[in-house]
Structure 1
Amino acid sequence: MRLIAIKYFNRLTALIILYYIILYYIILYYIILYFGEFFTDVGLFVLGSQLSLEEASQRFFDTLFPLVYERLVEPDLSRLSLPYSECVRASCRDLGPYGGAPGRLAALISRASLPGRVFLQALHLGVEVINTTDHIQLSRECRRGLLRMSYCPHCQGLTASKPCMGYCLNVVRGCLASLAEVDAHWREFVRSLEMLSTRMHGAQDLEQVLLEVHGLVRDAVAHAQRNAPRLSAQVRRVCGRPVRQQPEQVSSGQHSSAGRDSIPLKAAVRNTDDTLSNRRKEFLSSLRLHRAFYGGLADQLCVSDLASGDGTACWNGAGVTSYTLRVVGNGIKAQAENPEVKVKEADPVISQVIDKLKHINQLLQGKSIPKLGTLDQIETGSGEGYSGDCDDEDGCWGSGNGAAERRRIETICK
């Protein structure tokens, strides 16, 4: 008799456990559906939206409450009518069925989102810096220097002669003097991105936090279930006696939509190598290779393409011989002694880029609090911010006839 009772008890226990497993899987199904909207809000926040994470979190739990009430608080009821479900949802904030879970979820997401938000702002600005510097306008002195270096030998029939290395460096360093000023700030930008990336782990890794959110939601639902008698009485006091949904509403309403949007309850196998953290590391490894781009651009152009490797038989601006003038360094200050290109002042557009880099570097290093709208769009492609000392005499607007253009070239090459 005792063995029969034990077997019966074990079987009953197994059935109860199975019942609750099935019940929680049903709830999990709807939770996943509701999570879609919440994750969309989180994504918008990371991208810079001014929405409130507290409101998004509370809205998620509000939407979940009718399901929790129907399945766990009042499990003996059939599906609630839509008006009654809406009343249950609207009462959620006043009843507080989840304890402090909505606030904790918002705090977790907010803390984890801030580094990613700054990281994305920084990447956006990095793209703007590259686009802006790619469309920089060359000054009049620079254009004259490039013309003399590249085309004046052709006027003398020296088509095979390339500029001397020192000559090329002076001309190109003069032309790119403003860009060279970006170098230190660009290096700091890359270094600051790497520093921020190293801090994006644990509670500051949004991907990891989102993967663990289900635990917080599970505990919140369990908290509501433990307080089922209190919640049942409070809901009935606010919304009245539960109103059941009509059979035809069930068949044509939520059940049919759930069938159309069905998703597997079994968790997808996650590729541990394909994570945001690994992709971020790969990106930074690639970016690190270009951290000296602006400082070495002039030298790279001359060494790889423009200048002659032979220092004895090359074009020096006047003839094919060696170049004996002093070779200046990079940057605006170094151009004071440049014999080939005179540089008056820094390009205002590049100065604006540098200011923005300084600002984002402070954000990346945690030295200032990020505010929405602090990073303005940089104008790209138009070149309207800088005239480049351009006037009609130089023909930089494409005006003038061919004879005038030839006279101008002859004057420069003399």
Structure 2
Amino acid sequence: MEGPSRRVRVSCLFLLALLGSTRSEDALSCEEVGKLFQWRLAGAVKGLPESPRAGTDLQVCISKNPTCCTKRMEERYQIAARQDTRQVLQTASSTLKLLISRNAAAFQETLETLIKQAENYTSVLFCNTYRNMALEAAASVQRFFADAALFLFGADVHPDEFVNRFFDSLFPLVYNHLISPGVTGGSGEYAECVRAARRELRPFGDVPRRVMGQMARSLLASRTFLQALNLGIEVINTTDHLPFSKECTRALLRMRYCPHCQGLALSKPCGGYCLNVARGCLAHTAELSPHWHAYIRSLEELSEAMHGANDVEPVLLNLHLLVNEAVMQAHLNGHRLSEQVNKICGHPVRPPTQSPRCSFDWNKEKHGMKTSLRNGEETLANRRKEFINSLRLFRTFYGGLADQLCVNEFAAADGLPCWNGEDIVASYTQRVVGNGIRAQSGNPEVKVKGTDPVINQIIDKLKHIIQEDNGYFASSLNIKLEKWIYHSEWQKYWHVGEGGVEWSHIRDLAE
């Protein structure tokens, strides 16, 4: 009776013989190899050998057996090996890239809608409550939200400037229509004097400071979140198109297409052999792994910090309430403000004027708007949470990319005869190295030299978004936002405190 071990050996030998027979149905013909080569390269190719030859001109697919490949075929196969691997890598990253890019586009669209909705709420406030000044206020309202959008999407405008500009322009209107009707309407110089007096007189109390603080915090957090998502897309695009080294390209050729030269078109590389080739080719890309993991963790922490006064959705949609509070406060203190303005700007004598009333059509403006933004599960905060939950699944993406390439695409299943770079064998006997540059010193299949400047540049960009030591964020929200901006390469950054926002130059925050 045959023992189990003997039956296994016989089965393996049978499979080896079977695969070996695919070298060519006719040992004296290269017809099948030529057909496969032309099919892979999509067209007829001249100069293919009709029968196996010594192959002394080959540089990579060298074999003691006769070969059906020429130097020209080897060069073409080398290009095909690069293309195959590039396609597999891009397919592997496609789900991650789609997740980030779709959410980045959706967040930007939602923020644009929120700004338009907040502008409409503010316009409706003036039309319904302060109709006499609504038409004159329209330009200031429009510019305020246009500046907010510009800041949110990366322009060099700053919340303290456009918030102050808005309340500066609002004070002459409030003074003319609510405090001393008709006084400032006909004199540009007098209106400018009232405008300039706003910051000294503080007619709106602490509302401008509160608006400044809320706008800076919420817009800044959302701006940084969007910038981080765009950086994630840039990282993926960069690694999708990273050029392969000469050593890597030769190794891919040896693994993918050198078997074809021997008529072994059905063979697949051994698992360990494939890992050595893939880990060698992707050694520089694997260096991204700890930085990518920290990048996702930082996005999580930033998202968690974006609540309350730091959540752009309620801040924008409730802004009209603060504007109303500011106007009411000035109206209630009208007598004091009138006396103070008279001392600063004098007493002009002229007849009162009648300002045109607004004609804002709220029903027309809100038509087609995404009013569901405030409905339960559709809030921006919940969308961010869903996105972060999905993104967490990709924390180890760059650390496991080489393994994914072999397991899902290239390598033979365990226990089956496989290609080891030279011939069909029962198993791969070389040592399998780990991921990353340091692990490649003992790689028997690919020689890895130095570092990749493109990968180093991407790592530097990630380091501007994250801080690797001590989990990146400090305990207070203020420090969280400060560090996010600092590491986003801003020459200036917002210092947000209880008293509002001030523009500061602090260069050594990270230390």
Q: Which residue of 2 aligns with 1:341?
A: 446
1:72 is aligned to 2:183: no
Q: Output the CA distance in 2 between the equivalents of 1:136 and 1:49.
A: 30
Contact 1:190-1:291 within 8 A present in 2 as well: yes
Deviation of 1:134 after TM superposition, in Å, equals 1.8
Asked whether the equivalents of residues 168 and 198 of structure 2 are also in contact (C-alpha less than 8 Å), the reply is yes
- Mean Cα displacement is larger for which, 138-147 or 48-57? 48-57
Distance across 2 between alignment mates of 1:242 and 1:279? 57
Q: Which residue number in structure 2 is paired with residue 291 of structure 1? A: 395
- Equivalent position of 2:63 in the other structure: none
Aligned mates of 1:375, 1:67 — CA distance in 2: 36
**TM-score for the superposition, normalised by structure 2:** 0.60
Higher relative contact order (CA 8 A, sep 6+): 1
Q: Determine the structure 1 residue equivalent to 2:68.
A: none
* 1:167 aligned onto 2:266: no
Amino acid at match of 1:356: K
1:130 corresponds, among 231, 236, 256, to 236
Asked if structure 2 preserves the Cα contact closer than 8 Å seen for 1:27 and 1:67, the reply is: no
Q: Confirm or deny that 1:263 pairs with 2:369.
A: no
Residue 219 of structure 1 aligns with which residue?
325
Could you say if the C-alpha distance between residues 41 and 266 of structure 1 is closer, same or farther in structure 2, counting changes exceeding 3 Å? closer
8 A contact 1:196–1:365 mirrored in 2 = no
Scaled by the length of structure 1, the TM-score of the pair is 0.73
Identity of aligned residues (%): 50
- Say whether the 8 Å CA contact 1:48–1:372 is kept in structure 2: no
Structure 2 unmatched runs, 5+? 1-124, 475-481, 492-511
CA deviation after TM superposition for structure 1 residue 308, in Å: 1.8
Query: 1:3 aligns to what?
Result: none
Q: Pick from 250, 256, 275: which aligns with 2:379?
A: 275
Query: Could you tell me which amino acid in structure 1 is paired with residue 448 of structure 2?
Result: V
Task: State the AA in 1 paired with 2:405.
Answer: L
Spell out, residue by residue over 1:273-295, the C-alpha distance to the aligned partner (whole angstroms, 9 max, x if none): 33321222232223222222111
Q: What is the one-letter code of the residue matched to 1:289? A: L
Q: Which moved more, 1:96-105 or 1:265-274?
A: 265-274
The Cα offsets for residues 57-79 of structure 1, whole Å up to 9 and x where unpaired, read as 1211122223322332135x499
Asked if 1:366 corresponds to 2:470, the answer is: no
> Residue 94 and residue 236 in structure 1: after superposition, are their counterparts in 2 closer, same or farther (change >3 A)?
same
Deviates more, 1:50-59 or 1:335-344: 50-59
CA deviation string 1:325-374 (max 9, x = no partner): 22221111221121111112221221222232233112993366334971
Rounded to whole Å, the distance in 1 between the matches of 2:299 and 2:126 is 45
Is the contact made by 1:153 and 1:161 (CA closer than 8 Å) also made in structure 2?
yes
8 A Cα contact 2:280 2:443, kept in partner: yes
CA RMSD of aligned residues (A): 3.3
- 1:328–1:244 CA distance, 2 compared to 1 (3 A): farther
Matches within 5 A, 1:323-334: 323-334=428-439
Cα distance, 1:144 vs. partner?
Answer: 0.6
Question: Of 387, 400, 411, which aligns to 1:307?
Answer: 411
Shift of 1:86: 5.3
Question: Counterpart in 1 of 2:214?
Answer: 108
Aligned ranges for residues 14-413 of structure 1 at < 5 Å? 24=129, 26=131, 34-75=140-181, 77=182, 80-81=185-186, 83=188, 85=191, 88-236=194-342, 238=345, 240-241=347-348, 243=350, 255=357, 258-259=358-359, 262-264=361-363, 270=372, 271-272=374-375, 273-309=377-413, 311-322=415-426, 323-362=428-467, 365-366=472-473, 369=483, 370-371=485-486, 374=489
Q: Which runs of 5+ in 1 are unaligned?
A: 1-19, 377-414
